[in-house]
Amino acid sequence: MFLVIGVLALALLGGGLALLRTVSDTQAVERVEWAIEQIGTVDINARERVEGIERMYLALGVDLRPRVRNAGVLDEAIAQMRATVQAIDHAQRAIDAVLASRDCAAVVPAGTTYQALPFPSRAHVRDHAAFQELATKCTDEERAARRNTVRVTGTWWVNGVRESRGICSYDLRPTFSNLTDRAWARVTFTVSGHDAQGREIPDAAGSTSQYFTLDEGVGPGSDHKSRSTFTLRYDCATFDGFTIRRVEVLFANGDTRTAALDEIQLGSGWTKD
């Protein structure tokens, strides 16, 4: 009699413990699910929150984790956070390399990597102020270099011929000076025609820009007169002259440089107007 009662008591106690474990497990799973629902925006500022929820999830053990219905949301947040941290590390390495080398050619790629970061992530990149100071210095040096690249000189006109239907053709032979201390392999001039009021006008084909490319070596610091002539065709009644809009230089070593309209130096007979 007493043995039967003891067995029943143990059975009831075991069932009660199992019930308590079931309730406790359910509550643990629900706590993790609720925490996952609170993740919100996943940026670098949410790192501690995401990592804390990941620890809660792992603490459930292998038996309970499959019961977390929104575990996929946590997985996605973890993957996004890791990618965010990697992107910050990548930008940091790029900026550190530029600051160590002081290489102006590497400034733009490093700056592009930094700018690709979301705003919260940028705040976690160290020494950006020093990088920005170097970038400004490099920009100023590049601007000064462009202003000391080329000077157009002499009279480019060779002759002008009136063609049919009111169109005139004008032959030009560029003359200019290489102001740099490096040899050029090629130079391209972008020009446009203008009327007597200085307004840009299209040529006979309707284009507002013409390109003259000279595959002629030009020595450092030397004056050069093109061996080639180029022809412009405009309406005779409206054409009054042409403007050099841009000069693109290919150096002998493969480097390139572009001087815009306000960066081109003008010799005698040329004007900015």
Q: Could you read off the pLDDT tens digit of each residue along the chain, which spans 273 residues? A: 444 454 444 444 455 545 555 668 889 899 999 999 999 999 999 999 999 999 999 999 898 999 999 999 999 999 999 999 999 999 999 999 999 999 999 999 999 999 999 999 999 999 999 999 999 999 889 888 888 999 999 889 888 899 888 999 999 999 999 999 999 999 999 999 999 998 999 999 999 999 999 999 999 999 999 999 999 999 999 999 888 999 999 999 999 999 998 899 988 777 765
For residues 239 and 195, is the Cβ–Cβ distance under 8 A? yes
Residue bearing tokens 């600051």: 99
In this prediction, residue 270 carries a pLDDT of 79
* 45-77 pLDDT, tens digit each: 999 999 999 999 999 989 899 999 999 999 999
Question: Is the distance from CB of 124 to CB of 194 less than 8 angstroms?
Answer: no
Q: How far apart are CA 13 and CA 11, in angstroms?
A: 5
What is the arrangement of strands in the sheet containing 157-162, beginning at the earlier edge strand? 157-162, 167-172, 230-235
* Two structure tokens written together for 5: 């009662």
CA distance 258 to 150: 10
- pTM metric for this prediction: 0.61
Question: H or E stretch including 193?
Answer: strand 184-194
pLDDT at 273 (0 to 100): 54
Integer Cα distance of 58 and 98 in angstroms: 40
Q: What is the pLDDT of residue 76?
A: 96
CB atoms within 10 A of CB 89: 12
Residues in the chain: 273
What is the DSSP secondary-structure string of the chain? -HHHHHHHHHHHHHHHHHHHHHHHHHHHHHHHHHHHHT--S-SGGGHHHHHHHHHHHHHT-TTTGGG-TTHHHHHHHHHHHHHHHHHHHHHHHHHHHHHHH--GGGHHHHHHHHHTS-HHHHTTSTTHHHHHHHHHHHHHHHHHHHHTSEEE-S--EEEEEE-GGGEEEEEE--EEEE-SSS-EEEEEEEEEEE-TTS-EE--TTS-S-EEEEE---B-TT-EEE-SS-EEEEEETTT--EEEEEEEEEEETTS-EEEEEGGGSEE-TT----
pLDDT of residue 55: 95
pLDDT of residue 157: 84
